[in-house]
Chains A and B, each alone.
Chain A
C-alpha cells in the first residue's frame, strides 16, 4: 500500500519515467508465491490441528457420537461434567499427581545435573544412563514397573520377602496407587529435566567461577550466589514444562492400575478416554478436553509470563 503510494509519487515527480512503469525489483518484497514454501505444512497444520481444535470446541456444545453431531445442547455437557463426581475426582487426582511428580522431577533433575556436570567419562556415561529411560515407550515403562510392584512375582515383593515382610500393595491400595504411578513416571521422565539443567549450567561462563574462587568463596557460597541465580529461570521453565506434561498423564495410569482401585488413580485424560471412546459420548468427552486445555493453557501462560519477565531484567 505504502509502496504503491511511493511509486506513484515518483512517477509524478519525473514524468519521463511514467512510460516504464515496470514493477520495482525487490528481493524482500511480500509476495504470495513465497508462501508456497509454507503451504504444504500449513495444509496439515490447519486440517490436523486448527480445524479439529475448533471442531472440538463446537462438539463440546453438542450431543455427539462417532457417527456425527447431534443437537445443540448449550452448556449441558459442561453442567453434566461438573455434576459428575468421578470427573471432579479425576481433576483432584491429576492435581495430586502433578504435585507428586513435577517438583520431585525438577529437584531430582537439578541434583543429577549438578552432580554430573563435569567432563569425566563416568559422568558422561551416567548422564546417558539417566536419560536412557526417557526414550522408552510408556508401554515398556509400565511393564517394567508393574513387574516391580506386582504381588508375588514383583521385585519389591521379592526384596520384602528376604526380610519376611509382606510388600505394600502399591497397585491395589487406594492410598498407594497414585504414588506407584508417580514413582514409575519419575523414573521415566527424569532425563529431560536433567538435560535442561545441564545445558543451563554449561551456559554459565567459567570466568565467573574463577572470579569467585579468587574471592575465596567456598563451595556453598559459590552455589548460592552464582549457580542458583543463573539457573533460576531454567528451574521455573523446567517446573512448568513438567506441570504441563504431567497434566496429560494417561498411559501409565491406564496400563498400571486401570485408574483403580475405585477411580483413585484415574486422571483427567483417562476420564476423557473412557467417556469418549468407551461410552462414545463424544460431546461430553470434548467438554472434558476443553477443561483440560484451559488448565494447561493457564500453566503455559504462567510459564510465558514468568520466564519473559525474568528475561527482561
Chain B
C-alpha cells in the first residue's frame, strides 16, 4: 500500500511479535540539548538520562519548554545543538517515523476518516507489517483497552474517553521502544481524568516500555511518575522521585510548584554557628530551632519554607508564635487555617477536620523544625538532615 512517488520512503522493517522481547525498551540519553525559535532560546543546554522501563514525567508551567523537549525526542522539532540517543544510537538526525517511538497527543490527533482499527493499523501498514500480525495486534490492543467493540467506528462517533483509549491503542500496537504522552489527560473532564490516570498507572505495568509523560498537573506527576523532571524557564530545576521532589525540593520554584496548598514562605534571620540544627528568627521575633545542619550555612537573611502540615494550630499557648485567622478552608479530613503573623506575613497552618477555630481568632502556632527548608538569596534550598534535632 505504498503510494508511488513517496518522497521519504522509509526502510521496510517488519518485526514479529517474538522479536519484541529482545529489544523492547529504551535507555534515552539527552545530552546538552539546545532549542531556539528565532532569537529566543526555548531549551538551554539541557541534559537528562531516562532509564529503560522508567516512567518519567516532565512537569512544569506552560511555556517552560517541556512539550518542546518531548517533541524534540519525537522528531517533531529539530535539535539545534546537542544529541539525543536511544540505547546508544543517535536518533536526533532520524526522521520521526524511524525513531521507533509512539506519541499520544493532547488532541489525540486521530485520523477522522479512518475507523478505529484503521487508525491503529495505519502506522504498521506503512512499515510493511504482515496483515495477520496487524490484525492480531489491533485485536489485542482492543482487548487490553476495552475498545474491542468500537473497532469499526470512526473517531467522530466516540466519546472523549474512548478517543483517548484509541490514541493510546494506536501507540501500543506499534510496540515502540518508548511512549511519549503530551498532556494526554487535559482534554478529559475531572472525573474521567482521575479514572484514566489510574488506568494509565495499571497499563504502565502491563506494557513494558519507557514512558515519557508531559503535564502541568502536579497530581498526575506525583501519582504516575517513577521520576519527575521539574522544568522552569528553559531549564531543569530538579530531577527526582515524587517523594524527593516533595520533601526535598531543590529550589524555591520546585517548592512552590509542587504541593497543595503552596508551601509557606517567611523571611528569617539565621544566627548561624555551632553544631546541630540551626536556629532561625522569624520577622515577629520568634525563634525556631530547625534540623538544618548549621555548619553548612553562612549567617544572614534566608527564606524559611514549610508546608501547611508542618505548621499546626497548637492547644492554648503551646505554640512558638501566634497569628490571627483570616480564612478557613474546611476540607473534611483537615482544616487549612490562613493566619497572619504579627509582622504581617501570611502562614497557612493545618488543624483537625473538626477545628473549633473561627475567623479573627488569635491562634497559637507550632512549627515542626524537622520539616523546614531554608532558601538562600539565589533560591537554593537547604534541607533538614536526620539525626539533627529540630
Chain A contact residues, CB within 8 Å of chain B: 6-7, 9-10, 13-14, 17, 20, 22-29, 33, 36
Given the known interface contacts A9-B81, A10-B82, A36-B7, the answer about A24 and B92 at a Cβ–Cβ threshold of 8 Å is yes
Beta-carbon nearest neighbor of A26 in chain B: B78
If A25-B75, A33-B7 touch, whether A6 touches B80 (CB-CB below 8 Å) is yes
B81 engages A25 (CB within 8 Å) = no
Using a CB–CB cutoff of 8 Å, the interface residues on chain B facing chain A are 7, 32, 34, 36, 75-83, 90, 92-96
Q: What residues of chain A lie closer than 8 Å to B36, measured between beta carbons?
A: 6
Are A29 and B78 within 8 A (Cβ)? yes
Residues of B within 8 A of A33 (CB): 7
Apart from A10-B80, A25-B96, A33-B7, 15 more pairs, CB < 8 Å: A6-B36, A6-B80, A10-B82, A22-B90, A23-B93, A24-B78, A24-B80, A24-B93, A25-B75, A25-B93, A25-B94, A26-B78, A27-B96, A28-B77, A36-B7
A33–B7 Cα distance when bound, in Å, is: 8
- Which of chain A's residues have a CB closer than 8 A to the CB of B80? 6, 10, 24
Please give, as numbers and ranges, the residues of chain A lying within 8 Å of B96 by CB-CB distance: 25, 27
Q: Would A14 and B32 count as touching, CB distance under 8 A?
A: yes
Name the 10 nearest CB pairs between A and B, nearest first: A26-B78, A22-B93, A10-B81, A25-B93, A24-B78, A25-B95, A6-B80, A25-B94, A25-B75, A33-B7
Instruction: Tell me which residues across on chain B come within 8 A of A29, comparing CB atoms.
Output: 78
A22 to B85, CA, bound (A): 14
Contact of A28 among B78, B81, B90, B94 (CB under 8 A): B78
> Whole-angstrom distance between the alpha carbons of A17 and B81 in the complex?
11
User: Given A33-B7, A36-B7, are A24 and B90 neighbors across the interface (CB < 8 Å)?
Assistant: no
Indicate which residue in B7, B34, B75, B81 contacts A27 across the interface (CB closer than 8 Å).
B75
What residue of chain B has the Cβ atom nearest to residue A28's Cβ? B78
Q: B64: shortest Cβ distance to chain A, in Å? A: 22
Q: What would be 5 A-B contacts, judged by CB atoms less than 8 Å apart? A: A17-B83, A20-B93, A23-B93, A27-B96, A33-B7
Most chain A beta-carbon contacts within 10 A, residue among B77, B80, B82: B80
Q: How far is the CA of A25 from the CA of B81 in the complex (A)?
A: 12
Q: How far is the CB of A204 from chain B (nearest CB, A)?
A: 30
CB contacts (< 8 Å) of A36 on chain B: these are 7
CB neighbours of A20 from chain B (8 A): 90, 93
- Shortest CB–CB separation between residue A259 and chain B, in angstroms? 52
How close is B100's CB to chain A, nearest CB, in angstroms?
A: 14
B90 touches A27 (CB 8 A): no
Task: Evaluate contact between B7 and A25: CB separation under 8 angstroms.
Answer: no
How far is it, in angstroms, between the C-alpha of A9 and the C-alpha of B93 when the chains are bound? 17
- What chain B residues lie within 8 Å of A27 (beta carbons)? 75-76, 78, 95-96
Please indicate the chain B residues that have their CB under 8 angstroms from the CB of A26 in the complex. 78
Tell me the nearest residue of chain B to A6, going by C-beta.
Answer: B80
CB-CB nearest in chain B for A20: B90
Contact of A6 with B81 at beta-carbon distance under 8 Å, contacts A25-B75, A25-B95 already known: yes
Distance in Å from the Cβ of A39 to the closest Cβ of chain B? 13
- Which of A23, A25, A36 counts the most B-chain CB atoms under 10 A from its CB? A25
